[in-house]
Structure formats: C-alpha cells, structure tokens
Structure 1
C-alpha cells in the first residue's frame, strides 16, 4: 500500500495487486482487471456528448493504442492531487437542477453531477499527467442501493483503479462497493462494452 500526501490530506492509493496486502486478499472476489464483454448501448448522456463534441468519441488509431499506465510515486501523487482537486472544487449538483434535463454530460463549470466529475478528471489527467485517453475510461456502475453512478477507471499494469467523487481514496475496482455494468472501449471511446465480471459486489467493501 502506498501512502502519500496531497493538498494537505493523507490519501491512500491501494495498489493491492502490486503490493499484496492481506486486506485485499481477504475480500477479493474479482481479479485486478475488469473482464470486458460484449458491446453495450451507450448511455444517453454520452450520446449527446458525442454529438456536441465529436472529438471526444473518435476511434483511436492502431498506432496510438495505449499500453496500460505504469505507476510510479510521482505519477501516483499527480493522479491523487487531481482527484482531490476536482472533488473539492466542483460542487455536486444534478443535471435537472443545472440544465433542466435528466441527463446532460458536459465539461462542468463550478458544478456538475457524477459524470461531469469524471469528464473533468479525465481531461485533466490526460492534459496534466499525460495519460492516454485509452486508459481513462468512463464507467457506469450501480450503487448498493440500486442507484446508477458514473466513475472513472484508470487502467494500469497493476490493475484497474477507480476515481470517484463519492470517495477521495483511489481504490482497486474490486475493493469498491459497486456492481460494474459497462465502460468505454479502450480503442473507441464512442463505443461501450459490458463488464463481464462486474456484478459481484464485495460484502467487505460494502461494510467498510
């Protein structure tokens, strides 16, 4: 487990796959990587984003296909700093309140809902940390209470990690309390795939 400080707060990036913590071994029911399944329908909000911002949804060429991110201490610190910065500076507010519609995905101003947090983090991690967009994937999950939610998946050589506006810690995907439904394709951000091993919610994670 790697511990570091960012913006005055102590944060944890739990690299269970890389460092083999006992806690992770006790609760792990899914491997460190999501297994990608068949094509899935795009979320309605993402369809609108692609119409307004077509560059967001262009396929990635074979030459530009990403290898998983290799984490080091400097990159971990940068990722955590951006995650905390967005979570602390962006006010959570529904699309209905902001735009008068149920789903409107966009790069937020001072406020936004869960997918807007994801878009802001994705953009900053790409621009400031130089992480390829193919390793920064919008992901749709279901919370323990059945509500839908959006998080950002960071795809690394050590596993898939989740950046979440509801949790300031960056956790391995298999230590979050979510059922994982679908995420963007790594090679075509305009397409989505189901997550084949994403339905089992970890009791240990839910109880934390």
Structure 2
C-alpha cells in the first residue's frame, strides 16, 4: 500500500509538470463535496432512452473500492486500453449533431463515448456500479467535458481521455459541475467545487 500511495503522489506531481498555468486552492478533501440533486445532462437522458438496459431505475448502497495494488493496476490498464482503442471525433462529425451520447462507433467518439465505454468495461470486470460515476466538468477552455469518477478508499479518482494518468480529482485541471449519484445511476448530484484555479491549458 505504501507503493500505491507513492504512485498516487507521483501522478499528482506529473500533472503539475504538464499543466501550464497555476492553481491556488484550499486543501481539498479526498472526496468531492456533493450537494443537492440536479437534473441529468440532456445527453445522458437521450443515452438512457436509446440504451434502457444501461440505465436501470434501481437504487443501491454506495460503496468505495478498496484500492490495492491489483485494483490500481487494473484501473490504469483499462483506462489506457480504452484511450488507445477510441479515436477522438466530435459528435458533429460523427453524428451530425452538437451533442449525442452513446458507446463508441467504429472506434470513434468524443469524451462521453470514452466515459461510457470505461464504465461498461469496468462493470464487466467486476467493479461495483455505485463506484463508477459519469461526471461532468468544465475543461481548461471552459468547455463541457465528461470524465469517469471512481470512488476508492484513497478518494475520488478520475479516468480521463485528455490526461493519461489516473489522478485524484483535486489534481486535475477541471471545474467539476455534477455527477451520477452513488445511490442510483439515473439520479445526478451537484458538486461544490470551491477550488480557485487559474489553469490555462494542458500540455500535449
């Protein structure tokens, strides 16, 4: 576990070397501060209409994953594999509309397709649904962005298609808005992200 802790710290340090700009913030918690119930993104509602079985109207007791070395390595491997397998393409180019959520199409997709595929693969690998939460944020260009939050005993970890490393949520350069509830996949909760950031862009 000491090795895992050092790895997480190294990942956070890696991001500080790839982010251009600066971040000034109060000490964040390991877990996002969840607030009131909010509406799901329009794209997620459309996804659920098209993929009813992927959005069961069920509730479950929230759990966090015990992040041992094996789980950590599996998380990194799946994040990397999906990022390599999907090629970025906008919804406008792929579907002829500004916003459309679905699973990857012929190996192409935007951030939502990456997130939905990672969630699906992790569930198939035995990870609990309540720990794999689609999350909406604003990126460094103030554009809408989607990532996958994985709830672990080391805190909320972020799987992203823009940043290769799996990082604690507070080490990413995004402003978090809302995410799926840990109690139900069809409910969403607002996020109180009070960090003060001046991040301008992420290096390639």
Q: TM-score, normalised to structure 2's length? A: 0.83
- The answer to whether the 8 A contact 1:151-1:163 is kept is yes
What's the counterpart of residue 45 of structure 2? Answer: 47
Give the gaps of 5 or more residues in structure 1: 4-11
Q: Which residue of 1 aligns with 2:169?
A: 173
TM-score w.r.t. the length of structure 1 is 0.82
Distance 1:72 1:191, change over 3 A: same
Q: Indicate the RMSD between aligned Cα atoms, in angstroms.
A: 2.8
Residue aligning to 2:67: 71
1:111 aligns with 2:108: yes
Task: Report which structure shows greater RCO (CA 8 Å, sep ≥6).
Answer: 2
| Inter-partner Cα distance in structure 2 for 1:71 and 1:153 | 14
Partner of 1:159: 155
- Match for residue 127 of structure 1? 124
Q: 2 CA distance for matches of 1:170 and 1:135?
A: 15
Go from structure 1 to structure 2 and tell me whether the alpha carbon gap of 1:201 and 1:84 turns closer, same or farther (over 3 Å shift).
Answer: farther
> Counterparts of 1:1-208 in structure 2 under 5 Å?
2=3, 14=8, 29-61=27-59, 64-109=60-105, 110-128=107-125, 130-196=126-192, 198-202=193-197
Q: Which runs of 5+ in 2 are unaligned?
A: 17-23
Q: For residue 199 of structure 1, report the CA deviation from its aligned partner.
A: 4.0
